């Protein structure tokens, strides 16, 4: 069965610090997709990034970067020079290509609450 673990339940940093959110996943599928979502205090889940299992290239988008390593089944998310507006709960999620009748349901980790203090 698929599983996503975010070991850090809560992280507190001071503005401008770099912070890395960890995500470890388990799946038997060879083709799968990994996602990060942000949930600000307003509650809406906002899609940040998708990564395919066959593409281990790291990705950078502004202050955000993602490190995907199949060897350790990890998909970590780094925010550089954090800002107060980055305060939110961040979820890592996994979708398997072959999930049959459940479509491509997302299996979420427990989330990491990030608090960025001024």
Partner 1 sequence: GAGVSQSPSNKVTEKGKDVELRCDPISGHTALYWYRQSLGQGLEFLIYFQGNSAPDKSGLPSDRFSAERTGGSVSTLTIQRTQQEDSAVYLCASSISRGGNQPQHFGDGTRLSIL
What is the C-alpha separation between 16 and 36, in angstroms, rounded? 21
Cα–Cα distances (Å) from 22 to 29, 62, 73, 109, 114, in that order, read 21, 19, 11, 10, 12
Q: Which is nearer to partner 1, 71 or 101 (CB)?
A: 101
DSSP 63: T
- Minimum CB distance to partner 1 smaller for 15 or for 99: 99
Q: Characterize the bridge pairing of strands 24-26 and 112-117.
A: unpaired
Minimum Å gap between C-beta 35 and partner 1 is 7
Q: Give the binding site for partner 1 (CB under 8 A).
A: 31-33, 35, 37, 42-47, 50, 52, 91, 95-97, 99-111
Q: Which two tokens stand for residue 115?
A: 């608090």
* Tokens linked to 30: 């060879």
**CA end-to-end span of the chain, whole Å?**
41
Of residues 82 and 107, the one with the C-beta less far from partner 1: 107
**Nearest CB to partner 1, comparing residues 86 and 109:** 109
Least separation in angstroms between CB 109 and partner 1: 8
Nearest-approach distance from CB 108 to partner 1, in angstroms: 4
CB of 15 to partner 1, least distance (A): 27
């Amino acid at each position: 069965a698929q599983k996503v673990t975010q070991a850090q339940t809560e992280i507190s940093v001071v503005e401008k610090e770099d912070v890395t959110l960890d995500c470890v996943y388990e799946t038997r599928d060879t083709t799968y997709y990994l996602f990060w979502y942000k949930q600000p205090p307003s509650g809406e889940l906002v899609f940040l990034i998708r990564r395919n299992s066959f593409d281990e290239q790291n990705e950078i988008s502004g202050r955000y970067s993602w490190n995907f390593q199949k060897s350790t089944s990890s998909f970590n998310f780094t925010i550089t020079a954090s800002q107060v507006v980055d305060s939110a709960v961040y979820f890592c999620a996994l979708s398997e290509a072959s999930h049959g009748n459940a479509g491509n349901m997302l299996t979420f980790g427990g989330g990491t609450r990030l608090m960025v203090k001024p």
